[in-house]
Structures are given as structure tokens and as C-alpha cells.
């Protein structure tokens, strides 16, 4: 057998040839890593031949990293540097931060890594989902409310342009789940809707818009997470669906995504008793019958299978960080996303290869896919981005105007109530906002826009920690104003297990609507009326708290802008899918 030099040796031999790579050399302890590997004269197969088993496994592991600023001499950077130096990871999934800070951090890590890193992020409603200052769109369900595939295409296109400017190559979107269960605690507005045909068209349009502008895409959560009522971050949900049901419902959008050229499919951590009749069913992520039988054989998908986060409660609490990685790989996944412990996952995978539990050629097939993806994305030629170009792309006015147009058409009026008391007169109004997280609350945009249009607005903010004294203070504000707007942002949050208003807030909304003209503008879950049995006020769906949606609400209420959205989901017996009261521009 021919001896193959490990990656570190090849990097040392060819490092001097790398003329176009970054020269950033952060001073940290331990010493600087081996120089990056020059790739301009190498093929994917020749690179693969240089990798040890340990380095091959590293290419399949993608840990999670905040996009915030960190110094290159500090514990946070040392942790990321260890992933690269000790584990030779293949990529990173970047989370919340600023575009410039995230890009600078990624540039530094790219310069440190011997092979280029492929960078991913959850960008379901635009780059703003993770990057503060980027363009934010209505949630996918809001896109469904417009009924236009062009809007989904534009969401994909602009997300791609902004993501690539930051150094993100891959989005873990679109969500291809059909949200046909109002009690679903984790999908909700992340889905385009409940109609398989409508969701399929929007998913395919998003994939085309993103991929045609350089962004890799991911349809999730396979084979379907929409009809579940348990948060997989906490426990293992169950999808009671056999083949005939899956084939005609859940799988329809995934087929559309595959036909549109989606890069990858992400697994769902859900149990399917029809495919695993054991006393303690395994999640789909660990089922060869799903990940190979259905995904590969039935749907003919040849791309990359990505696990959902392996830190989730449905996985790590039962199987551990190491074994969960091995089981997911054996079932058919190629990329191991966010293992609970990178080192344990890597060692378990290496041991499985050494023992013969994982065949060497099976490992090579997955590694080759990742390397091909890096080559096709242009990472073999350029792995960093120009920081000074980011402000000219990310959040630019042209992108925001597209988002504003979509947001206006996504606004959906479910219950008319006294809305004309807002559209036809100006005056004093109390604005009560609520959000579980500060960074997902209504910003000052709504307040500023209402005031600019002639309203005298008194805002009052409520949070999950708000107690009786805060609610009493809100009542004082409400009593002093002849009209009220409630603007809650109740959204799916990993690990919370429900998407509901606090009972005290639901009581306050009903109490207020019985005494004065009241608008409830939901910047989150559309299902809030399920908690408000006696509410007769205006009910407006605004989908999520991004600037575009806040402007849309202000213009609809205080400037008489048209309202045209149609609900892409059923909202109880009174409001079937397609409900939406159209109001012309005044």
C-alpha cells in the first residue's frame, strides 16, 4: 500500500506556494498552526488522499460559534482555534452577531485552517435572522400570506447576496415542513403554510433564488416536523405517519426542493413508529429506513444529508455526544451538526472507522461531498471576504425596499374589529409590547413611524419576568388613552416547549378590548386567538418584529395603506386557510 502523507505534511511542503491567502497570524498560545494548504493545483481526490482518518472525520463536523467580536488572545478564540488545530473541523455554523464582527472572525479562522472552512447559518427570514443590521423579511409564513413565489425567490436572492458578503456560504433554510398542527411549539411561522402544493412552490422558489446567487441551501426537517406537538430540543416528538401519508403530505415539499436543486436535506429528531416499531423508537436521524431508504432510495436525493443539532435534548440525553454522531452517520447523514462535544464526537467516529463499524469507503464518500462543495463554492480559490465591501451590500436600501414591499402585502387582517377607528383618525394611543427576548421585541421603528404619521404614542413594554406590578402599570397607561395597540412577539423558542401568550397578558388584552378600540397586531405566532375566546377587537398578523413589518403595520393603521394578505393556515373553526379581510388604500 502506498504511503500517503498526512495533511500537516502536505501543508508544510506546499505552504510557501500559497500566494493569495490571508497573512493574518493571530498571536495565541499554542504557537501558530501549520500553514494553510495550497489548493490551486490539487483535485478533490488528491486532497482526500492526503487526509488521515482523523482529518477526514474532522471535515464532517460543524460546531456552533457566535458571530460577536472576540479578541484573538482570549478563551473564546482559543476554543475556536482548538477546533481547527486539534480537530481539523470542516466548517462552522455562525450565530448571532454583527456582519463586520462575524466576517472578521471568520476571516481569521479561515486563515488559520489548513483546508478552507465552509460556513453555515440559519437564515430562514433573511440574513437578519443572525446578523444585526442585515435585511429582515417576514417569516416564511408571511411569505405564504402573499401567495407569490416571486417573493420567496427574492427572499432567497437577497439572503444569498448578504450572506456571501459576510463569508457565509450555506443557509440551513428553507423550512419545508407543513405546519398543520397549531400546537407545534417549534415550527409555527417558520413554515410557509399548511398546503403541500403552496409550500412546495415557495420552497422551490427560495432554493432557486438562493442557489442562483451563490448560497447553498437546506430543506428541513426531514421527513417532516410540522405535525408534532413536542419540542425536540427537550424530548423526542412523534410523527404518526406511515408511508402513504408521508408520500402525499410531508414529503411533497422535499421533492420540490430536490427538483429545484437543493444542496442538502436536514434530518428531524422525531420518532416515526411506522418505521421503527421497537419499544423505545429512535429518532429519524438514526433510522436507515428514513435517511437511506426514504431519502436516498425513494426520493433519489444524492446531495448532502445534514443532521439537526446533535446537542438537542431528543438526542444527547439518550445517546451521548459520541455515539449520537456515529449513529447518525451510519443511518445516512454526511455532516454532523453541532455535536455536544466536538472532541468526543470525533474520537467516537475515528474509533468506529478503526473497528470497521464504519467502512472507509463510506467515510470517503461523505468527505468527498464536503470537499466538492468547498470547491464549487469557490473556497479553493478565495476563502476570506473584503470587510470594507460589507456595508455596501448588507442591509442596503435596495434590499430593504424589496423587504418593505413584501411586508406590506404579507400583512393579514383576520378580524376587522374597530380598525377604522385607527385608519380614519389620529390621537392618543397606548402601545403595549411583549417579547420573550429583548432582541426579538418590537423596536422603536413602530413607535417612530406611528408618531411620524400623527399618532401620540405612549409605549409600555412587558416581558416574561413582568409581575403584577408591571401589569398594574400597564393598566394605568391604558386607562389614560382612548385607543390601544397590543404588539406581542410570541415565537418558537428552542427549549421552551410552547408558543403562547402569558395568561396575564391574554387577560389584559380581552379586558382592554371590552372597554375601548383595540388592535392586536401579532408579530409572531398567528394562533393567539386560541387563547382569546372573548376578544372582539382587530386581529392583524404581522409575522415577526423586523423593521419592514413594523413599518407595514404603522402604515396600515395610521396611513390607511392597503391590507391584502391571506392566511396560509387554518386558524380554528371560524378562520379557514385563505382567510384575510382585504382593505383598499384609503
- pLDDT tens by residue, 135-167: 999 999 999 999 999 999 999 999 999 999 999
| pLDDT at residue 3 in the model | 40
Indicate the DSSP class of residue 299. T
Could you tell me which residues come within 8 angstroms of residue 384 by beta carbon, excluding any fewer than 6 positions away?
A: 22, 106, 107, 110, 111, 167
How confident is the prediction for the chain on average, in pLDDT?
A: 92
Q: Which residues are catalytic?
A: 233, 308
| pLDDT at residue 19 in the model | 38
Per-residue model confidence as pLDDT tens digits over 303-358: 999 999 999 877 888 899 999 999 999 999 999 999 999 999 999 999 999 999 99
| pLDDT at residue 443 in the model | 80
pTM above the 0.75 mark?
yes
| pLDDT at residue 18 in the model | 35
User: Strands 538-541, 412-415: parallel, antiparallel or unpaired by DSSP?
Assistant: antiparallel
Looking up cell 425513494 gives 298
CA 143 to chain centre: 15
Looking up cell 382587530 gives 538
468-478 exposure pattern, b = at least 16 Cβ within 10 A, e = fewer: eeebeebbeeb
Ranges of the chain whose pLDDT falls below 70: 1-37, 40, 438-440, 494-495, 497
Task: Give CA–CA dist 258/276, Å, rounded.
Answer: 25
| pLDDT at residue 277 in the model | 87
Domains of the chain and CATH, by start: 7-392 (3.20.20.300), 411-558 (3.40.50.1700)
Phi/psi at 337 (5° precision) = -90, 125
Task: Give CA–CA dist 140/436, Å, rounded.
Answer: 20
Could you tell me which residues come within 8 angstroms of residue 497 by beta carbon, excluding any fewer than 6 positions away?
A: 185, 230, 231, 234
Give the residue from 286, 284, 335 showing the smallest Cα distance to 307. 335
Give the burial class of 361: count Cβ atoms within 10 A of its Cβ; 0-12 exposed, 13-18 middle, 19 or more buried. exposed
Task: Give CA–CA dist 351/326, Å, rounded.
Answer: 10
Per-residue model confidence as pLDDT tens digits over 47-76: 999 999 999 999 999 999 999 999 998 888
The answer to whether 196 touches 252, Cβ cutoff 8 Å, is yes
| pLDDT at residue 509 in the model | 98
Per-residue model confidence as pLDDT tens digits over 420-446: 999 999 999 999 999 987 666 778 999
Amino acid at each position: 500500500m502506498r504511503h500517503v502523507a498526512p495533511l500537516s505534511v502536505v501543508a508544510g511542503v506546499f505552504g510557501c506556494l500559497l500566494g493569495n491567502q490571508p497573512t493574518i497570524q493571530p498571536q495565541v498560545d499554542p504557537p501558530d498552526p501549520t500553514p494553510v494548504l495550497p489548493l490551486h493545483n490539487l483535485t478533490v481526490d488528491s486532497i482526500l488522499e492526503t487526509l488521515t482518518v482523523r482529518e477526514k472525520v474532522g471535515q464532517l463536523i460543524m460546531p456552533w460559534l457566535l458571530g460577536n467580536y472576540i479578541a484573538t488572545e482570549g478563551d473564546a478564540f482559543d476554543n475556536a482555534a482548538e477546533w481547527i488545530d486539534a480537530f481539523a473541523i470542516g466548517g462552522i455554523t455562525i450565530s448571532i452577531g454583527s456582519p463586520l464582527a462575524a466576517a472578521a472572525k471568520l476571516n481569521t479562522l479561515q486563515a488559520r485552517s489548513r483546508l478552507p472552512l465552509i460556513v453555515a447559518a440559519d437564515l430562514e427570514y433573511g440574513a437578519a435572522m443572525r446578523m444585526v443590521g442585515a435585511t429582515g423579511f417576514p417569516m416564511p409564513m408571511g411569505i405564504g400570506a402573499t401567495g407569490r413565489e416571486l417573493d420567496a425567490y427574492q427572499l432567497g436572492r437577497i439572503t444569498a447576496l448578504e450572506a456571501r458578503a459576510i463569508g457565509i456560504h450555506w443557509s440551513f433554510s428553507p423550512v419545508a415542513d407543513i405546519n398543520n398542527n397549531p400546537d407545534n411549539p417549534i415550527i409555527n411561522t417558520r413554515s410557509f403554510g399548511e398546503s403541500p402544493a403552496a409550500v412546495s412552490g415557495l420552497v422551490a422558489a427560495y432554493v432557486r433564488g438562493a442557489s442562483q446567487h451563490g448560497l447553498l441551501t437546506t430543506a428541513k426537517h426531514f421527513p417532516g416536523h410540522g405535525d408534532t406537538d413536542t419540542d425536540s430540543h427537550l424530548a423526542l416528538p412523534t410523527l404518526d405517519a406511515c408511508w402513504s401519508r408521508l408520500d402525499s403530505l410531508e414529503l411533497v415539499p422535499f421533492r420540490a426542493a430536490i427538483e429545484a436543486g437543493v444542496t442538502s436535506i436536514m434530518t428531524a429528531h422525531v420518532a416515526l413508529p411506522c418505521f421503527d416499531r421497537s419499544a423505545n423508537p429512535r429518532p429519524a436521524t438514526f433510522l436507515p429506513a428514513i435517511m437511506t431508504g426514504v431519502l436516498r432510495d425513494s426520493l433519489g436525493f444524492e446531495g448532502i444529508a445534514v443532521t439537526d443539532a446533535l446537542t438537542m435534548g431528543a438526542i444527547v440525553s439518550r445517546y451521548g455526544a459520541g455515539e449520537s454522531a456515529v449513529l447518525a452517520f451510519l443511518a445516512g447523514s454526511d455532516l454532523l451538526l453541532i455535536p455536544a462535544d466536538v472532541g468526543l464526537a470525533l474520537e467516537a467516529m475515528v474509533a468506529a472507522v478503526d473497528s470497521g463499524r464504519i467502512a472507509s469507503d463510506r467515510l470517503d464518500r461523505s468527505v468527498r461531498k464536503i470537499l466538492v462543495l468547498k470547491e464549487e463554492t469557490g473556497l479553493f480559490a478565495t476563502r476570506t471576504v473584503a470587510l470594507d465591501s460589507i456595508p455596501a451590500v448588507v442591509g442596503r436600501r435596495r434590499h430593504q425596499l424589496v423587504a418593505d414591499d413584501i411586508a406590506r402585502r404579507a400583512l393579514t387582517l383576520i378580524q376587522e374589529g374597530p380598525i377604522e377607528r385607527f385608519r380614519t383618525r389620529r390621537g392618543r394611543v397606548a402601545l403595549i409590547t411583549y417579547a420573550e427576548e429583548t432582541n426579538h421585541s418590537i423596536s422603536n421603528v413602530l413607535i417612530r413611524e406611528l408618531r411620524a404619521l400623527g399618532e401620540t404614542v405612549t409605549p409600555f413594554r412587558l416581558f416574561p419576568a413582568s409581575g403584577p406590578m408591571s401589569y398594574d402599570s400597564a393598566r394605568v397607561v391604558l386607562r389614560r388613552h382612548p385607543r390601544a395597540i397590543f404588539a406581542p412577539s410570541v415565537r418558537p423558542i428552542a427549549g421552551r416547549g410552547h408558543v403562547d401568550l402569558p395568561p396575564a397578558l391574554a387577560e389584559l388584552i380581552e379586558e382592554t378590548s371590552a372597554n375601548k378600540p383595540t388592535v392586536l397586531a401579532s408579530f409572531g405566532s398567528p394562533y393567539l386567538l386560541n387563547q382569546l375566546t372573548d376578544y372582539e377587537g382587530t386581529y392583524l398578523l404581522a409575522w415577526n418584529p423586523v423593521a419592514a413589518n413594523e413599518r407595514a403595520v404603522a402604515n396600515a393603521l395610521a396611513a390607511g395603506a392597503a391590507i391584502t394578505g391571506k392566511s396560509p393556515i387554518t386558524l380554528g373553526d371560524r378562520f379557514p386557510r385563505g382567510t384575510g379581510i382585504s382593505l383598499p388604500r384609503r
